[in-house]
Amino acid sequence: MSLAVPILKRKNPADFLFRGNAAAASGFLTSLKGQFIPVNLNKPTVHGESSLPMAGGASVSSVRKPELNFPEYIRYSDCETSVLGSQEGESMVTTLRTSVKNVRVATSPSPEDALPDVELTAFQAESLAIEVRSIHPPEGDPQFEVLGEPQNLGMFLETVDRSGESIRTPIRLIFDARLLSRCTFEELDNEFLGNRDFFDHHSARFDTDEGLTFGQSRIPRTQDGYLLMSIVRQIEFGDETVQGNVLDIPGYGRISFGVMVTDRISRRISLVRIRFGSDPGGNSCLASVETNGIWQ
């Protein structure tokens, strides 16, 4: 027997509950020289955080010189965020911005990586920034947009060999214009159904049990009902063009660019996410925002 789910009546007048979060940079080690490293509340790993209460308003954070736990491996500066929740006409609007400068996330190969000539590998970026806006009308689905192209200046991967010689490979991101533009959750589904180029590019990146058919398949969801996509279409990595948003670097780990998690009423984007699994191992997230809200 299936049970019906009652729907609450909207208040009169209706009230909007904001939610908006931005984090400029974060990073922590999970292991060092084979030893597990726990996360410790006395040693914060996130810097430059802004967050809205349900009432909305303005939240701003600026941390020029953050206290870093492992600066030899994870380093950044000038962590800035802002979140504004306000009314525009009849709609409620949340605008979020996050930026960070002088990023360096480094590790060294472990013996299992079989890279005896490599001393260390580091992802570096001069400046990362993204600004996102969500518009919540009193009727209909909210719209989300990235305001302008996200900033990703001076990005490169540095490899240092045992002799101290360094090779820097530049990284340039090509963004998906449709995922940057203003749209609702349903409009993304319709784009997948009706735009052959959009379908071909994104369907190749979904791992599903059943095949995807243009004009018949909607965007696959996670088990929790979210779309897991990326605002990055391809990566120019030195002379190589990589389709998609992921760089897997031997002896370093995985760098994922522009990760986007979205459902009908929310959107979360992280411009750079790094999982490095050599020695040390750890995680880093750079230039992240999250926005949603509901009418009641």
By C-alpha distance, which of 134, 29, 49 is closest to 99? Answer: 49
Instruction: From 85, 86, 77, select the one nearest 48 (Cα to Cα).
Output: 77
Q: What is the mean pLDDT of residues 196-217?
A: 91
Q: What is the pTM of this model?
A: 0.95
Q: How far apart are CA 86 and CA 103, in angstroms?
A: 32
Q: Is the model's pLDDT at 3 over the cut of 90?
A: no
pLDDT for residue 10: 81
Write down the pLDDT at residue 1. Answer: 66
* 144/155 Cα distance (integer angstroms): 27
Categorize the per-residue pLDDT at 9 as very low, low, confident or very high, splitting at 50, 70 and 90.
confident
**Of the candidate ranges 64-73, 123-132, 197-206, the one whose mean pLDDT is the lowest:** 197-206
pLDDT digits (tens, 9 = 90+) for 224-263: 999 999 999 999 999 999 999 999 999 999 999 999 999 9
Return the bridge partners of 192, or none: none
- Tell me if 121 sits within 8 A of 159, measured CB to CB: yes
- CA–CA dist 193, 27 (Å, integer): 38
Q: Mean pLDDT, the chain, as a whole number?
A: 95
Q: Which two tokens stand for residue 292?
A: 């949603």
Cα–Cα dist 269/260, whole Å: 4
285 vs 275: CA distance, rounded Å: 9
